[in-house]
Every structure is written in C-alpha cells, then in structure tokens.
Amino acid sequence: MSVQIHESWKKELAHEFEADYFKNLIQFIKQEYQTQRVYPPGKLIFNAFEQCSFQATKVVIIGQDPYHGADQANGLSFSVNDGIRKPPSLLNIFKELHNDLHLPIPVSGNLERWAQQGVLMLNATLTVRANEAGSHQKKGWEVFTDAVVKIISERLDNVVFMLWGRYAQDKGAVVNRQKHLVLEAVHPSPLAQSKGSFLGCQHFSKANIYLTEHKKAPIQW
C-alpha cells in the first residue's frame, strides 16, 4: 500500500508513526485494503497532509469519517472527487459560502484548491469500508488525529479551527484558544439542523478577517 504525505508532516509526526498503536493500526489497514473495499484509495489516505504542509496550515476543518460511497472520498474532509455529486453536507457548506461571501456555488466538490492554500481538511478517521459508516473507528485513527490537532495547537500560531458539530468540537477541545481562533457551529448535515442552523455562521468571512489581522493571506474560498 503506497501512501503520500508531505515531508514536513513526516517530521512533526515521527513520534506517532513509531508508536505501537500506529503500527497496529497500519497492520489492520493493510489487511482491510487486501480483503475489503476501502475508501479512499490507499495513495490518498494522507492526502490532507500531502496537499497542505505543516508550516502552511492556516485553517483546520475537522470531519469524522471519509465518505463511504463509490469514488467519493479523496482524503480531504467534506471533499469529493471531480464529477461526483455533492453530498448534502457539502451543499450546505457551499450555500453558506455563497451567503457569507457572495461567491457562486462551485461546480466541483473537490476542495483541493482550499488545501493548497493552507486549509487542512482533517477527518478523525482516515479510512472506511465501502458502505459501512464508522467501520474503521476505534482502531487507532482517532489517537493519531488527536495528536495532529494537539501538535498544530502547540507548534503553530494564529490558526483558525472550524469545528462543526459536537464531535468536531470535542476533538478540538485541546486547542489553545489564547493563540488560535476557534469557530463553532452545528454540523452542516441537513440532519443536524434541528439543533440550530449551520447557515449563517459566517465562518468563511470570520476566518479571512482573522488571517488578515495576523498578517496571513486570506483563503480564496
């Protein structure tokens, strides 16, 4: 199984890669890819880290599982491959983007353009069996991605964390709010809107204002 991850992350996460839990996780993942249909493709498991280097990280968007439908997942939270129908959560993200910054709804749901500007789109679990949501939870991925969030919080300054839904907010509890901006809202899924509305959160404009105030280039959403 061939994977790609930016050299800067290899350095920052070297301790995690050597940990027993991670070695056990990789053995499990290798077995899964050999015996099951698993998403995303193996080479894209660490795509979020390949597309956005550690030093370039300015915004973190936390998701939960990769999409588990055919050809959807590309290793970035909430993102889908070009030509794939946009899932409901992503449609609501684009609606908010339109309402907040008056931008047209993007044709493609592929968010690599965000990643290449410093947006780390991090799923808590980086792999999933086809059509089995949550099937790779509690195998070690959450320990790894908790470490990622902690490292960003400790070693970088003035990062924007977008925490959508209770799961992401719990995962972001370790973020130092004295040195970073934490934006919270209900999950963009239509199923979560009974708890409040994601639409109207204005996270995209708030992020860019904060980045500009701290001498960082705003994201071209």
Q: How many residues does the chain have?
A: 221
In the structure encoding, which two tokens stand for residue 212, read together? 């500009």
50: Cβ–Cβ under 8 A, 6 or more apart, which residues?
4, 5, 6, 75
Q: Please identify which of the residues 65, 82, 100, 157 carries the catalytic annotation.
A: 65
Within 10 Å of residue 205's Cβ, how many Cβ atoms?
16
In the structure encoding, which two tokens stand for residue 55, read together? 């030093």
Would you call 65 a catalytic residue per the annotation? yes
Phi and psi at 118, nearest 5°, equal: 110, 20
- Decide: residue 204, CB within 10 A, 0-12 exposed, 13-18 middle, 19+ buried: buried
3-state secondary structure of 176: coil
In this structure, the strands spanning 128-129 and 38-39 are antiparallel
Q: Which of the residues are catalytic? A: 65
